[in-house]
């Protein structure tokens, strides 16, 4: 499209985004608890990020609850919470059929993404994800551009992904889906796309394989962040407006001996109400359970038959269990966290920093856990970094309760496109 007919801005989901004056790159580092970058900077392993922070902006932002990957990636992509785009987890009970189904197909998406809107307005847009399921969601509605996953980079073709021979283009072999190399491929692809194609808008979303296994400051985590830093440095040096944030944080969810801390809520409810009276849904459940054994800090409970009237009585009983942070009825949870009521159960249960919620002990295969469990999903994994390589045009207003400016992670495109000082 000729430059003369480009709009000054694009509106998506009720928000206005200025047309990028230069390539604008948002990097979502999966599971990047703020302590990871802080520790790696302190160890002298992220000199580029330290320099970017010194010349730019470093904030803490709040992720969407449940603090899981897909709800947050789609919130970032739509600039709006799950109540707007519908993706509240990986897994839910379809109210039409009453069956538990995966929510990782674009047919479940209820709102356009910023990528779709900008590409339809004629912008060059590139999206690179670690896993292919997320590529399908994030690429939905895009008119042209590049949309690629590291997991299936060998299957990329110009007609479907905007790029032929992605492996040759990036110059790396196809990475294993369970590896740090999967994230490295995403970032290397981003650098190459910026060099060769200069997209107006680019989104790079990594995977939290390292963060699920290794704590901030560990040798493995520091090596990962040193790799990340090389790519952030390259993106910055190529003249992009650069933003770095995360989908959620990450915490230890095990005891002193390394055994997972799990409250098996389905077993508990079956004991209280009888089998079949309730269904516990863990929206973290996905086909990639090796990371976490489907154990996170967020669950939703559907009550059936006579038990449907017992929600109010169950609330204090569940809330009194050790390791539970919060229990809310559906409407209160949806109002507080911006969730779609038709994709939530009667109760929402959130566990504490070092506790997870499971269904039944027999239903979780923990044999794939080759390191003490680290996971996410709760309020204690909600704080994430938000870093820009330019200063803010206007300081964010401080919320009175905390005194600290705290945007949402899904404000990242609005801030990157509308909120930074010209330079
Ligand atoms: Zn994630």
Tell me, rounded to whole angstroms, the distance of Cα 291 from its chain centroid. 15
CATH no. for residue 367? 3.30.1360.110
Residue 257 forms part of a structural domain = no
| β pairing state of 251-252 and 374-375 | antiparallel
Q: What is the DSSP string of 302-337?
A: EE-GGGGGGHHHHHHHHHTSTTEEEEEEHHHHHHHH
Considering its fold, how many domains does the chain have in total?
A: 2
Residue 273 forms part of a structural domain = yes
- Check whether residue 278 and residue 391 sit in a common domain: no
Give the model's pLDDT for residue 50: 98
- Check whether residue 388 and residue 366 sit in a common domain: no
Rounded CA Rg of the chain: 21
Residue 59's beta-bridge partner residues?
386
322 Cα–ligand 1 center, Å = 26
Burial 331-360 (b: 16+ CB within 10 A, else e): eebbeebbbbeebbbbbbbbbbbbbbbbbe
Residue 423 forms part of a structural domain = no
Residues 91, 103: contact at Cβ < 8 Å? yes
Residue 152 forms part of a structural domain = yes
- Torsion of Cα atoms, 183 then 186 then 188 then 193, to 10°: -170
- Check whether residue 381 and residue 367 sit in a common domain: no
- Check whether residue 289 and residue 215 sit in a common domain: no
pLDDT tens digit at each of 423 positions of the chain: 455 578 999 999 999 999 999 999 999 999 999 999 999 999 999 999 999 999 999 999 999 999 999 999 999 999 999 999 999 998 899 888 888 889 989 999 999 999 999 999 999 999 999 999 999 999 999 999 999 999 999 999 999 999 999 999 999 999 999 999 999 999 999 999 999 999 999 999 999 999 999 999 999 999 999 999 999 999 999 999 999 999 999 999 999 999 999 999 999 999 999 999 999 999 988 766 556 688 999 999 999 999 999 999 999 999 999 999 999 999 999 999 999 999 999 999 999 999 999 999 988 888 878 899 999 999 999 999 999 999 998 877 655 565 556 899 999 999 999 999 986
Alpha helices in 321-379 (DSSP H): 330-337
Residues 264, 307: contact at Cβ < 8 Å? no
CA-nearest of 148, 130, 131, 151 to 139 is 148
Give the integer Cα–Cα distance in Å for 417 and 415: 6
Give the integer Cα–Cα distance in Å for 273 and 264: 14
30 Cα–ligand 1 center, Å = 4
- Check whether residue 394 and residue 331 sit in a common domain: no
Phi-psi label, residue 44: left if phi above 0, alpha if psi -120 to 50, beta otherwise: left
Residue 341 forms part of a structural domain = yes
Give the model's pLDDT for residue 397: 67
Give the model's pLDDT for residue 93: 92
250 Cα–ligand 1 center, Å = 9
Give the model's pLDDT for residue 1: 46
CATH no. for residue 385? 3.40.720.10
- Check whether residue 30 and residue 54 sit in a common domain: yes
- Check whether residue 115 and residue 38 sit in a common domain: yes
Residue 15 forms part of a structural domain = yes
71 Cα–ligand 1 center, Å = 9
- Check whether residue 183 and residue 244 sit in a common domain: yes
- Check whether residue 134 and residue 145 sit in a common domain: yes
Residues 262, 364: contact at Cβ < 8 Å? yes
- Check whether residue 128 and residue 199 sit in a common domain: yes
245 Cα–ligand 1 center, Å = 12
CA-nearest of 167, 169, 129 to 148 is 129
State phi, psi for 11 to the nearest 5 degrees. -105, 130
120 Cα–ligand 1 center, Å = 28
Q: How far is CA 171 from CA 127, 154, 232, 245, in A?
A: 18, 12, 18, 26
Domain that holds residue 86: 3-250+377-418
170 Cα–ligand 1 center, Å = 24
Is 9 strand, coil or helix?
strand
Other C-beta atoms within 10 Å of 62: how many?
A: 17
319 Cα–ligand 1 center, Å = 26
Give the integer Cα–Cα distance in Å for 379 and 333: 12
Give the model's pLDDT for residue 127: 98
- Check whether residue 245 and residue 313 sit in a common domain: no
Length of the chain (residues): 423
Give the integer Cα–Cα distance in Å for 167 and 152: 10
137 Cα–ligand 1 center, Å = 15
Residue the block writes with tokens 């003369």:
4
- Check whether residue 178 and residue 284 sit in a common domain: no
């Amino acid at each position: 499209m000729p430059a003369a007919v480009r709009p000054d801005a694009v509106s998506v989901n009720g928000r206005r985004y200025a047309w990028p004056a230069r390539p604008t790159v948002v990097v979502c580092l999966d599971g990047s608890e703020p302590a990871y970058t802080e520790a790696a900077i302190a160890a002298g392993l992220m000199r580029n990020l330290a320099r970017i922070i010194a010349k730019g902006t470093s904030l803490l932002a709040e992720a969407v609850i449940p603090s899981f990957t897909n709800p947050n990636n789609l919130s970032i992509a739509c600039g709006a919470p799950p109540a707007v785009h519908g993706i509240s987890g990986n897994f839910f009970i379809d109210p039409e059929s009453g069956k538990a189904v995966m929510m990782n197909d674009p047919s479940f998406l209820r709102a356009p993404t910023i990528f779709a809107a900008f590409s339809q307005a004629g912008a060059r847009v590139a999206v690179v994800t670690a896993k292919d399921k997320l590529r399908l969601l994030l690429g939905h509605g895009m008119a042209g551009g590049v949309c690629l996953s590291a997991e299936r980079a060998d299957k990329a073709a110009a007609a479907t992904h905007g790029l032929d021979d992605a492996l040759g283009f990036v110059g790396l072999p196809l990475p294993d889906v369970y590896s740090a190399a999967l994230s490295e491929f995403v970032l290397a692809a981003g650098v190459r796309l910026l060099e060769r194609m200069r997209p107006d808008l680019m989104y790079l979303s990594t995977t939290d394989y390292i963060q699920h296994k290794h704590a901030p400051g560990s040798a493995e985590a520091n090596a990962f962040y040193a790799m990340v830093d090389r790519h952030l440095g390259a993106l910055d040096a190529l003249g992009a407006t650069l933003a770095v944030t995360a989908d959620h944080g990450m915490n230890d969810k095990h005891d002193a001996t390394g055994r997972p801390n799990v409250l098996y809520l389905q077993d508990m409810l079956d004991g209280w109400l009888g089998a079949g009276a309730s269904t516990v849904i863990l929206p973290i459940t996905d086909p990639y359970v090796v990371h976490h054994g489907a154990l996170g800090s967020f669950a939703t409970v559907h009550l059936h038959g006579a038990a449907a009237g017992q929600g109010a009585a169950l609330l204090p009983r569940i809330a009194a269990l050790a390791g539970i942070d919060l229990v809310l009825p559906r409407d209160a949870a949806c109002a507080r966290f911006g969730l779609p009521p038709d994709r939530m159960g009667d109760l929402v249960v959130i566990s504490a920093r070092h506790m997870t919620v499971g269904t039944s002990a027999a239903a979780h295969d923990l044999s794939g856990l080759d390191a003490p469990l680290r996971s996410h999903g709760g309020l204690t994994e909600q704080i994430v970094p938000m870093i820009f390589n330019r200063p803010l045009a206007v300081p964010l207003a401080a919320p009175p309760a905390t005194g600290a400016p705290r945007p949402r992670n899904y404000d990242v495109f609005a801030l990157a496109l509308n909120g930074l000082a010209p330079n």
